[in-house]
Each structure stands twice: as C-alpha cells, then as structure tokens.
Structure 1
Amino acid sequence: MPGKKVSMPLAVRIARWSRRLSWPIVKGLFILSVVLFVGGGLSYLFNRSDSDPLQMLRWAKSLAYAAFLLGVIRAYWEKIRQRYRTINLQHSEGHVVVCGIGDFGQSLVDAFLDKGYKVAVIELNAAHTEVVSLKSRGVVVIHTDASDPAALYEVNASKARYLFAVTGNDRRNVKIIRAARQTVLDEQNSGGDSDLRCYCHITDATLFEVFSQHEVFEAAHDGFYASLFNVHDAASRFLLEKYPPDAFAALPAAGSEPLEVVIVGQTRMGEALIRQLARIGHYLRWHSVQITVIDKEADAFEHFFSSYRDISPLDDTLVPGVTVRLVRKDPEKIKFVADLDAGDLGNPALVCCCLDDETLNIALALNLRRMLDNDDAPIVACLTSGLSDLLQEKQCRYLSQRNIHSFNPYRFASDFQVLLDDAADKIARAIHQAYLDSLSGENVADNPSLVPWQQLSEEKKNANRWQADHLSVKLREMGYDQRGVAAIDAVVDDPVWLEKLSELEHRRWMAALYLDGWRYAETGKDAVRKTHACLVPYERLSQVEKGKDDTMIRNIKHLVESPEWQTYTAFVDKR
C-alpha cells in the first residue's frame, strides 16, 4: 500500500529549487552574455543597420556582471549562511550544543532537530563526512577543539539549554564540561542568567569512578548541572529489560544447570552487557549464570576480566554466582555448526551479537539461528547506524519471524524520554524517595544519602539504579506476570518466600558492590577504602541487616503501584 504523500512547505521547496537551479542559471547567464557580446561585436564590425550593437554589448556586460555576482554568492553561500546562523546564535537561548559527530553525536542531532531545537555542532575534523549534510539541515557547525573556551563562546554555550560532550575522547569530554562551567560563571558574573545541563560521555570505568566524585559532577550548581553517562551501560540496562534471559530460559531439571547467555564480540557493548548480567543475573530458579563470550582476541578478554579477578579464586567467576568463559573463535568464520566445538554455544536463553561490523552482526545472527536447537531464545543484533531503523520488527518480517531483533544503543540513549525525562531512572528515583521517607527523622550530616535525587553523587544514584534493574527479575520470580499484585501479597505474607527473596536481594547487592570495587572487611564500612563487613552470605548477616533486605521486598508492591512504574513499563513496551 503506497504511503500517504506528504506536502512540503513552500519555503522548503523554494530553497531546494534555488540550490538545484542556481548553477544552471549562472551558466545560462554567462553563455547568454557571451552570445550577446559576440553578436554585438559582429554587428559593429559589419555595420549592420537592423541591430544596435552598443545595446547588445551593454546587455552582454550586464548579464556578465549578473552571472559573476550570482556565481560568487553561490560559491560562498554556505559560508555566508553559516556565518549568519552563528551570529544569530549569539542572540539565541535554549539551543543545543553537541561536541563531536560520531554515531551517537549524529543520533543526538537527529533527535533534537526532530523536536524543533536549534542545534550547534563543534567538530574538530572539517573533513567529516556528515558536515555537509548537517549544514544543509540548518545546523551551525564550528571546526575547532570543543575544549577551547573560545569555541563554546562562539556557540553561546552559556545560553544553551543542553550541551553534550561526545567526542570519543574521555579526557577531552571532561575538559569540555569544565570549560562550559567557566562560560556559565562568566555569564553570571556579567549579570546574565544561565540554565545549562551538560552531559559528559565517559567510556573508561576508572575515569568514570574518579570523576563521578568530582565536584563538577557530584552535585548541581546554580545555573549549571553536569552528569556523566555511558551509552553502552545505559543501553545494556534497557536491552536486558527488553529481552530478559530468565523469561526465555527453560526451567532447570534439577536446579543445577546454569542460565546461559552468549555474547559475540568483546566490544564496549559486549563488556557492558557482561557487567549488567553480573549485576542482575541472580535468581531463585537458577543458582548460577554462565556467560559465554565468543571472540578471537584473548588479550581483550583477559584485560577486562583481570579487573575483577580478585573477587573469587575461581578463574571463571566474575562475581559469586556468575561465571564467564571465552570461546576463542573468529566470529567472521562462524558459518556452520562445524565451525564451533561441542558445547561452545550450549543452550542459551539469549544471544547478543555485539561486533562493531553491523553487516557481520546480521549475518552472524542468521547463522546462529540455524545452529541453535532452541528457537525460543531471542538473538539480538546491535546496530549503531540507520540500518537499525530499516530492520524494525514491524518492517522486517524476515528477521522477526526468526526471533532475531535489531537494537541500536545510540538511538535508545538519544531518546528524549531517556535524555530529558530520565525515563530509565523512574524506578530508581522512586526507590530513593522511599528510602528518604523511611528515614525522615535522621540528620543529613549523619547520612549523606538523605538528599534529593539531583543532589546524589553518581555512585549513590547507581546503587539505586542497580536495585531498580533487578525489580523485574523479582517480579517474575513471584509470578507477577500471571497473578498481578496478589502474587506480591502472597510472598510478603509467607515468611519462607520472604526470606528467599531477601536472600536474593542480598546476593544482588553484593554483586553490585563487587563490580564497583568493594571488598570484604571484618568490621564496619569504609567508603574510602571500599570495604564492607556485610559482604558475606545472607545467613551470616545480623537481624538488623537482614531487615534492610526484608524492607526492600516489602516495598515492591508500593513501587509496582506507583505512577513511575507505569511510566517505565510503558516506555519499555513501546520500544
């Protein structure tokens, strides 16, 4: 069925026609001036009485001037228009500044243009393939180092609404945010107002931890707010919420088989999925989770794994209850069952293809579908370009009929509900608010966590996020999908079930702390050394500490009945 024809605004049609016809008009004027010049010259030489050679020469001169002037304007039109837009930006407020045009930067530009925002881009590489396209769409593009304060002044960053540092270089991104804060301070010192929200993309885990406690990012400032984010970590949270492995896994026969997940590609997205599985992969029906990584680079795997090696003496244990093994095979050469050894794939509940080559991800997903015995296990191919839009499930039945799904982490991370409405943090906020309500009588000086969400450090926000991410797992263990709120009431009223879920919550809490660098110590809690006396099996906890897990389970009904849960589930379902 043909799509509905969309009428194009008159101004847009005129602009397109002018760009398309400007050079032909210049050529036509030039040719006509030459013809008139030659004709006038010949008439003058042969003294023809039926024509006015001087008039023809005057016309030729006028047309030549017109062709020259129009040609100059056309040749420098983009520079003139860009300069005009840059000057106009100096008198604008509420625009968006994107520093860096990578795949994610492009997704951000697309998202904000679609919402009608003015967008300015600072890109160091003037030869970037997307520059011409961005300029044609009305984007102001500045070619310089975005960490230079002069570049931020040129795009009037202090009056912008949002600024994104996504250059692909962590250190440069941090320098950009510091420079942005200085522009805001300068604006305020000169008597102006600012309300700038900055987002800094950090991929290195160590830098993320260090700067999450830096005073620039730790709390909101007057007229300036900055936060750190990692596209792949955010996307992995959503992917495992959308395709939870425990929802597709066959129940273990005797409770001893692990829940298996296969990740192809030791890429940043692959590593983010491993970390997220280690945080939320804790169940009652399965006592362990086994993550199989297929990649040809053993060094990259060892480098990643060595960061967590001291958690357990077992070589393949990432956190207690979650093991990771490497199948050292080249994904490009996996085309037939014979290309893998027996047991390499196992019986996974979920397969994620996370290679940087998108075409290879699709081909590999199709090949793995033929190799797996279980068609119920979804295969997710991670794609970072517009190819993912073409392979939407409703539009590409060839993949959806084979239970293969495309997922674009950049599209998700640049979604307006994620960026501006904090849709992915709705439940985490509700959990923190419940915590504040339960300790309303305590003093902030005694407990630094007793502050509103915006004032929390990134580390404490993450603690609430990891707890929120496991809520869906607990609900499935309770049977919430079949029985609704009655399933929660039955668990709370049953001491045995309540203790099982409290123990499950404690295991999840320990895994999150282990991944964040915490270790066991015999006494107390030391936030500086990251040691905690409660990093022990549940049965060794005091009744007071067990009571904290108990409270969390009892609070699940309140969370599920909250508007935040309804908003969050609707957000997940429509994607």
Structure 2
Amino acid sequence: MIAFLRSPRGRWFVLAGLWVVVIVLGIGGFIQQGREAGLHRSGLDTVYLTLQLATLDYDGSAGDMNWRLQIGRFVVPLMAASTVLITASIVFAGELNLLRIGRSSGHTVVAGLGDVGKRLASAFADAGERVVVVDPDQSLVAAATSGDDRLRGLVGDPTDPGTLARVRVDRARRLVVAGPEDARNVRAASAAATLAAGPTRGRPALRCAVQLTDAELASLMRATDLDSAGGMRLSYFSLHERAARSLLSENPPFTGAGDHPMVIGLGRLGRSLVVALGQQWAHQHRHRRAPLTLVDPYAGGRWAELTQRHPALAEVFEPELIDVDLAWPSADGVGALATLLAERPPSWVAVVVDDEPLALANAVFLHQRLPEGRVPVVVRMGSGAGLGTLLESVGGGTARAFPGVSVFPFLDRTCTVESVDGGIREQLAESVHEDYLAALPDGGTGTGLQRPWADLDDDERDLSRRRVDGIVGDLAALGCELVPLRRWGAPAVTLTDDETALLAEREHQRWYDDRSAAGWTYAATRDDAARTNPLLVPWADLAPAVQQTNLDAARALQPMLARAGFEIARASAGPAVS
C-alpha cells in the first residue's frame, strides 16, 4: 500500500480523491450557508460557488463561512499547489531524468532489457549499485523503471556511441550488455571501448560484461578476461553454460550403478548440459561409457554437431537418439520414447526445452510413465514462480503434487551479480568447488563445504579462489597459460613428470602457507578444534603415499580445467622445467 501511494499513479489517485472531498464539502457548505441565510439558490448556483472555491476565486461575500467552507478554503490552496507540482514533475520528468543520468558516476549501466537484462538490473540494484538502464524499446524501459526508484532509464540504441555517452559510460563502474542478439551485444561493447579509451582521470577501468547466447562462442572469448587491460576490461558470459553447471550441482545425475541420464531438448541449454554431463561422467568413471538418451526434433544432427566440437563425448556416452518434436509428435517418435521408458528407463531426466508449458507437460508425462518418486525429473522454468508453482505442495501441505519432479529456475540461478561480475577467476573458483562436489562418494551434498556454491559464505568460497590463484601461478612457473577449451577430447599439452612434480609441490606449499596463516600447526594427529595437522611439513618430509596423492591431483588438473572450459597451452616464451 505504501509503495502504491509513493508511485505517480498512486499520488494521482490520492489527489483526485481529495478534490472529490473538497467538492463535496463545498457543495454541502454552500447548501448549509444558503439555508441559514434564507437564500434560495438553484443547484447551478451552488455548483458555480463551489467552482469559485476550487479555483481560489471565492471572496466569501455570499454569506457566513461555516465549518465545511472553512476547511475547503484552507485545503484548496494546498491541493492546487500539489496539482501544479505533480503536473510539472510529469512535464519535466524526462529532463530531470536526463539531468540525473548526466551527473552519474561510478554507476552500473545495463544495456538490453529483455528478461535477462531486466533481472540483472534489479539484481545490481538489490546489491546497492546505482543502475542506469538503456534499450531502444520505450515500453521495456518504462516497464523496468516503473515503480522502482532505484533505476534510471534512457530510450536509445546501446550500439550508438552517442547513447552510451548520454548514460555516462565513460564515468561508469560497469557496463553489462545483455541483449538477445550476440552481434549487437558485441557492437555495443565495441562502442563502449571507444568511449573508455578517452581520458580516465585516475578512474578504474570500465568493467564490461557481454552476454553471448552461443555458449561455444562465449567459451572461446572468455580468455580475454585473463589479459584484458587499458580503459576497459572486457569479459563474456553465457547463461546457458553456467546454468548447466548449476543444474548438475543442485541435481546430481550420477548416483551409482545403473546411471542412465536423459536430456529432453537440445537447445542452447540442452547442448551445454550434455557436455557438462560428459565431463562429469569422465571425471568419475574413467574408461567407462554410460548410456545417454537424447530427445529432440533433431537429436541425430545435434549429437553429430556436439561430437564434432567435443570428440570426447563419443568416448564417454553410448547415445540413444530419439528424433521427436514434442510439440507435434509423430507416432514413430512417441512409440520409440514409450518403448525406451518401458524397457530401458532412465535414472535421471532433465527437461530443458525453452517452451515452459511444453516442458511442464512433458515432466508430468514422464512422472506418470516412470516409477513414481524414484527417478528424479528436473524441468527448466524461467523462475521458481509462475508455472513452476504447479509442482509444489498440494493445498499448502507437505505432500507434493508430483513427487520426484523439481524445478530448475533458469533466470533465478543465472541472472545474478556473480554471474557477470565475478570474472574468469570467480568462474574457475566455482568450477573447482563443483568439481569437489562431483567427486564426493555419494555424488550429493550435505553440510560444511559439501554444499552448492550458492549456499557458501564468502570465507568458504575463498578456499576455492585461492586454489585458482595457485593454479594460475603454478602454470606461469611452467611457462604455460590458460586458454579457452576449443574441443574437449582433442589432444592437449602433455606435462612432463618433472612439471607434474613441480605442480604438486607448489600446490602443497600453497596449502601449507594457507593453513599456517590461519593458525594451524604441526602435530602427529589431526585435531580440527586445536588446528593441528600431521601434513604441515615441507614437501620433502611428506610420506611417499601422501606425495603420490598430490601427484595424482596434479595429473587431474587438466581434466578439471576442461570441465571449467579451459585448457593449458605453452606460452610463446617463459620458463620451462627440464
């Protein structure tokens, strides 16, 4: 109610209501005045006098002022002033908005106000940032800023340097380009780079995060965040790639014998999910292939495309491809799917088609065909609200409408400050933690650090961040660097035994320094309460079995980086270990 009264529409309703009250008081007051003075006034005379009162033109000569007229003549000037002020605020709102935007500094600019851009703007505002939004569509700007005083909006083309200059990108802290078209997003970033190349006057570089809907393209472009410099630090992010990792972290697909995942829908999210599934399986089960069912109108073609880009997928999965359009299914496609569910049922299902009603309908269909509650079914929804609430409890109780079917809220999980603002090291740190969760014996989560990344506090996340810093430094010591992973399964850099030993020794030294700085000391037995650990000794003093464990972890570094979307490359020049 308070928010409504503070809105422009609410103020107009209040003002109109008060004018009605004033008119009622005026009419009643003049009727009473005429009756007490013995005057016979017509209805039109009473209305005319009331209008005089409302327009501040009544001089009181028509008779004595009763209490109704006394209230009216004192309230009317305030009402008139309020009306003028509100009207002026509407007339000059655009100019005032431009003036406020023009004075902005250290703010966040969000360009592109589709579902992603609007949510990101709200997320940054929730984080305490001053946000300016820009989009060519006036209705989208109005929808984003209406009722939210934290957002300033400008209608304009973000690929136009003039528009970016008006939102003061040159003085902004951050630019987030979140439009639906990759080409336009890149052009907007290019225009911003031109403005950021001007005099900075000691201001930090503009941090520009660009959304690319093509996860493969985003993966290839991400390395720019590792070495970008100058007036603008440029990074690229793919919500589909991040969503795939988040979905698997929240819904572990591999729990033991008989693992058989099924993915329904091979759009951008579905393809990213298949790659992430393959990398996770390869990490947990070396030299073993798993059955995988893919359902899509073009399942065969999508699989061929995926294996061409990522050859390792063919070594990880034994695919069963069902070409069926779930919106307009053929008899053969439905029959193949029904046979599979009856004879070779999956152990885990992800329904990730973009059409939410279609996704929900297929999730319910699978719930009816699979053993109830025993096969997890994850269905992609835009958010946890809306259609996704149909899967929640019945009548507010604890019983779920469809046991075993859960919602993955795509936009809720991906449209966050961390998704675009963490940089590549933050993304690698999250991948390190997700890799740790995937390696747990039961493939699940629990307490302590055995929780999804989103549930960890900042201190707990720092453990993974320091691990990433150590990896970058260790590779530099070998004369190597991180580059985007082009093709998962293609030949990679082969590290020598000496290089692997150096990585293991440096990682142990990093862990030793980290634990020592936290107050841990050496003791023959480990005691977490007393902060003692028998491994707090130099590398040379470690038992051979412990050294071997660290060497195995160093050898597993490249597969872990591949799961995060990176690989190791030899630098053009640098130190080498012989």
Q: TM-score, normalised by structure 1?
A: 0.63
Give the SS at the match of 2:92: helix
- 1:356 has 2:362 as partner: no
Alignment of 1:519-534 (within 5 A): none
TM-align CA RMSD: 5.3
Q: Are 2:5 and 2:11, in contact at CA under 8 Å, matched by a contact in 1?
A: no
Q: Secondary structure at the match of 1:221?
A: coil
* 8 Å CA contact retained: 2:182, 2:212: yes
Q: Per-residue displacement from partner, 1:299-323 (whole Å, max 9, x unpaired)?
A: x7615633533876xxxx8342224
Residue 119 of structure 1: aligned partner: 131
- Matching residue of 1:131: 142
**2:191 corresponds to 1:183:** no
Equivalent residue number for residue 470 of structure 2: 434
2:145 is the alignment partner of 1:151: no
* Residues 57 and 439 (structure 1), Cα distance of their counterparts in 2 relative to 1, 3 Å cut: closer
Q: For 1:497 and 1:60, locate their aligned partners in 2 and report how far apart those are by CA, in whole Å.
A: 88
Q: Given that residues 309 and 318 in structure 1 are in contact (C-alpha distance below 8 angstroms), is that contact kept between their aligned partners in structure 2?
A: no
Partner in structure 2 of residue 110 of structure 1: 122
Match of 1:341 among 338, 343, 349: 338
User: d(CA) in 2 for partners of 1:348 and 1:90?
Assistant: 57
1:198 aligned residue: 208
Residue number in structure 2 paired with 1:242: 250
Change (3 A) 1:459 1:81: farther
Deviation, structure 1 residue 201 = 0.5
**Aligned partner of residue 339 in structure 2, secondary structure:** coil
CA contact (8 A) 2:107 2:172 kept: yes
- Asked if 2 retains the 8 angstrom alpha-carbon contact of 1:34 and 1:60, the reply is no
Q: CA deviation at 1:352?
A: 0.9
1:406 counterpart = 2:407:
yes
1:556 counterpart residue number:
none
Q: Which runs of 5+ in 2 are unaligned?
A: 31-38, 58-75, 433-463, 493-527, 535-542
Q: Give me the whole-angstrom Cα distance separating, in 2, the residues matched to 1:525 and 1:419.
A: 26
> Is this contact kept in 2: 1:337–1:371, CA < 8 A?
no
Contact 1:163–1:199 at 8 Å: present in 2 too?
Answer: yes
- The residue aligned with 1:425 is 428
SS at match of 2:350: strand
AA aligned opposite 1:268 = R
Q: What is the one-letter code of the residue matched to 1:377?
A: V
8 Å Cα contact 2:383-2:409 kept in structure 1:
yes
Structure 1 residue 234, shift from structure 2 partner: 0.7
- What is the CA–CA distance in structure 2 between the aligned matches of 1:411 and 1:319, rounded to whole Å? 33
Q: Tell me the number of residue pairs that the alignment of Structure 1 and Structure 2 aligns.
A: 459
Q: Deviations over 1:522-544 (max 9, x none)?
A: xx98999xxxxxxxxxxxxxxxx
Instruction: State the shift of 1:54 in Å.
Output: 10
Deviations 1:224-246 (A, max 9, x none): 32210000101111111222211
The 2-side partners of 1:48 and 1:311 are apart by 92
Aligned to 1:306: 305
2:295 counterpart residue number:
294
Deviation of 1:114 (Å): 2.3
Residue aligning to 2:65? none
Larger deviation: 110-119 or 149-158? 110-119
| Contact preservation (8 Å) 2:264, 2:351 | yes
Relative to structure 1, the CA distance from residue 184 to residue 400 in structure 2 (aligned partners, 3 Å threshold; closer, same or farther) is farther
Rate the CA distance shift 1:80–1:459 in 2: closer, same or farther, 3 A.
farther
Instruction: Go from structure 1 to structure 2 and tell me whether the alpha carbon gap of 1:399 and 1:499 turns closer, same or farther (over 3 Å shift).
Output: farther
CA distance in 2, matches of 1:182, 1:509: 37
SS in structure 1 at match of 2:139: coil
Q: Provide the C-alpha distance between the structure 2 equivalents of 1:326 and 1:97, rounded to a whole number of angstroms.
A: 44
Q: CA deviation at 1:431?
A: 4.5
Q: For residues 59 and 266 of structure 1, do their structure 2 counterparts lie closer, same or farther at Cα, with a shift above 3 Å needed?
A: same
Question: What residue is the counterpart of 1:572 in the other structure?
Answer: none
Counting aligned pairs with the same residue, the percent is 21
Report the equivalent of 2:373. 375
Rounded to whole Å, the distance in 2 between the matches of 1:333 and 1:65 is: 66
Q: Which runs of 5+ in 1 are unaligned?
A: 1-6, 38-45, 253-258, 450-455, 467-483, 519-523, 529-546, 548-575
CA drift of 1:133 comes to 5.2
2 CA distance for matches of 1:208 and 1:36? 73
User: What's the CA shift string for 1:496-534, capped at 9, x where partnerless?
Assistant: 99999899877x479769x98x9xxxxx98999xxxxxx
**In structure 1, how many angstroms separate the alpha carbons of the residues matched to 2:119 and 2:47?**
60
Looking at structure 2, the residues matched to 291 and 338 of structure 1 have their Cα atoms a distance apart, in angstroms, of 18
**Counterpart residue number, 2:281:** 281
Match of 2:72? none
CA distance in 1, matches of 2:371, 2:214: 37
Residue identity opposite 2:470 in structure 1: A
- SS of equivalent residue, structure 1 residue 238: helix
Residue 208 (structure 1) aligned to one of 186, 208, 218: 218
The structural deviation recorded for 1:421 is 5.0
Secondary structure of the corresponding residue to residue 471 of structure 2:
helix
The equivalent residue for 1:322 is 317
* TM-aligned CA deviation for residue 429 of structure 1: 4.5
Greater CA radius of gyration, 1 or 2? 2
Counterpart position of 1:21: 14
Q: Does structure 2 conserve the Cα–Cα contact (< 8 Å) formed by 1:160 and 1:195?
A: no
Distance 1:103 1:392, change over 3 A: farther
Corresponding position: 1:167 with 2:179: yes
CA distance in 2, matches of 1:441, 1:504: 18
Q: Structure 1 pair 439/175, CA: closer, same or farther in 2 (3 Å)?
A: closer
Query: 1:74 offset after TM fit, Å?
Result: 5.1
SS in 2 for 1:186: coil
**Contact map agreement 2:27 2:47 (CA 8 A) in 1:** no
Give the Cα separation in 2 of the matches to 1:352 and 1:114: 31
Q: Do the aligned partners of 1:26 and 1:71 also contact (CA within 8 Å) in 2?
A: no
- In the TM superposition, residue 275 of structure 1 has moved relative to its aligned partner by 1.8
3-state secondary structure, aligned to 2:132: strand
8 A contact 1:98–1:121 mirrored in 2: yes
Q: Secondary structure at the match of 1:330?
A: coil
Can you list the C-alpha shifts for 1:539-574, whole angstroms capped at 9, x where unaligned?
Answer: xxxxxxxx9xxxxxxxxxxxxxxxxxxxxxxxxxxx
Aligned partner of 2:437 in structure 1 is none
- 1:218-257 residue pairs with structure 2 within 5 A? 219-222=227-230, 224-247=232-255, 249=256, 251-252=257-258
Aligned to 2:416: 415
Partner SS state of residue 343, structure 1: helix
Measure the CA separation in 2 of the matches of 1:178 and 1:14. 37
1:100 pairs with 2:112: yes
The answer to whether the Cα contact below 8 Å between 1:29 and 1:67 also exists between their aligned partners in 2 is no
